[in-house]
Amino acid sequence: MPHQVGLFLFKNDLRLHDNPALALAAAEVDQLICIYCLEPKQPPSSLRAPSNLSPHRQEFLQQSLLDLHHSLEQLGQQLIVTSDPVLDIIPQLITQHNISRIYCSEHAGYHEQQTWQRLLKPYPFIVFKRTPSHTLFDQTELPFQLSELPDSFTKFRKLVEPLNIKAPLAALTQLPPSPVSAMSWPQQTPPPAHVPLFEGGEQHGLAHLERYFKSKLASSYKDTRNGLDGMDYSTKFSPWLANGSLSVRQLVHSLRNYERSVGANDSTYWIYFELLWREYYQFYAHRHGKRLFDFSGIKTSKPATSFYPERFQKWCHGNTPYPIVNACMKQLNSSGYMSNRGRQLVASCFVHELGLNWRYGAAYMEQQLIDYDVASNWGNWQYLAGVGADPRGHRRFDLIKQGQIYDPKGSFIKHWGGDQYDAALDSVDAADWPISR
């Protein structure tokens, strides 16, 4: 059999444990190039985030890539990290190293899928293989065709909840060597001047997984999940799940072990329930493709919203007439993270109180959130804007009441300075004339 040189394109699977695509590559080639291409300089659509991701997102990604590189080094491998676009660097490597096989994990993003199709088109003589690693179930395991994905989460949940989940694969202990000599990494962005809430990388993700289930927090999760600040009110797995430093199947495997040893209750079920929400949005993104970014979403009519630059900037900086929203946005800008409850409140404010085009809010979150996931982010924004998978239409929250329920003493608002804002929403009218005060 001829000497086989393979290339593995890392994207949202920055780990060695439960990585079926990488395991397949390791089994089929004699030499393997492992590469990660940073985001392109131009956004894939006019409304998606600009190339300059927040310092928090960049730092978490850099930590994750460095952790993966160190893990690969222990197996005699290396991770090539490049700022060159996929469609530029991989053709060069194909020519230089006579690559015969290219592997990657499936990705829910439309842009990532289009890039993969454009990559394989000129190379009919190369074997291209994509393997799912970002979901609990493969598409082949679903009790329906992807084209028949239920139009609501509840219908989806009832169909998939009885399904068995495959056991996660063990971490790889050997890999074929790389034919590429050691390469220097692109210049790294200086870290923000803060102590991060999360440290990126597979080792930190697995350590958090072990730490969480060694505590008893999972047994009270349903009672605490609507908290706004701190580390213990929710599971906090999302940053590592988002870039694949942690496998969702490994997470469920640990959850089941906890239920067997400590006990199952409504709270442990609710962790799985919310992972099924994540699952639904992954397949939702695969099903609807480019429509995930359409103003009208998966509906036929567009929302009655527009774009007001001044309102948008006030929302981004936490300077709206709504203290709970301001506190959440300042928390996001300071840390790169916001609670699930907070995300619902700021999105509701964005669409309903400020009358803004939901896609700009989704794009801002893409830029800021360290746990940004294309499917969950854009799917949830569609849901709140009434153009997604929600049979009840718009989801509007009473922001005053929400503050009273989830921040009754006002400590969260005070801590983040949410009560410091410009009381006037607009300084100009629709014709850009100054508004007298």
Structure token pair of residue 212: 């969480």
pTM value is 0.93
pLDDT at position 43 is 45
Q: Who's near 413: CB < 8 A, 6+ residues apart?
A: 323, 324, 326, 327, 403, 407, 419
Asked if 20 contacts 207 with a C-beta cutoff of 8 angstroms, the reply is no
CATH superfamily of 309-415: DNA Cyclobutane Dipyrimidine Photolyase, subunit A, domain 3 (1.10.579.10)
Q: Where in the chain is the domain with CATH 3.40.50.620?
A: 5-133
pLDDT at position 434 is 57
pLDDT at position 353 is 95
Asked if 356 contacts 350 with a C-beta cutoff of 8 angstroms, the reply is yes
Asked if 317 contacts 327 with a C-beta cutoff of 8 angstroms, the reply is no
pLDDT at position 2 is 75
**In CATH, what class is 5-133?**
alpha beta
10-residue stretch averages of pLDDT, the chain, 437 residues long: 91 98 98 90 48 87 97 97 95 97 97 96 97 97 97 96 96 97 66 76 98 98 96 97 98 98 98 98 98 94 89 96 97 96 97 96 96 97 91 79 96 96 75 56
Which candidate, 107, 141, 415, 73, places its Cα nearest to that of 243?
Answer: 107
For helices 358-368 and 340-348, angle between their N-to-C axes, nearest 10 degrees: 150
Q: Where in the chain is the domain with CATH 1.10.579.10?
A: 309-415
Which candidate, 242, 246, 225, places its Cα nearest to that of 234?
Answer: 225
Architecture of domain 202-288: Alpha Horseshoe (1.25)
Residue showing tokens 């690969």: 72
Structure token pair of residue 390: 């929600």
Structure token pair of residue 111: 């842009």
Q: Where in the chain is the domain with CATH 1.25.40.80?
A: 202-288
Task: Provide the 8-state DSSP code for 139.
Answer: G
pLDDT at position 44 is 40
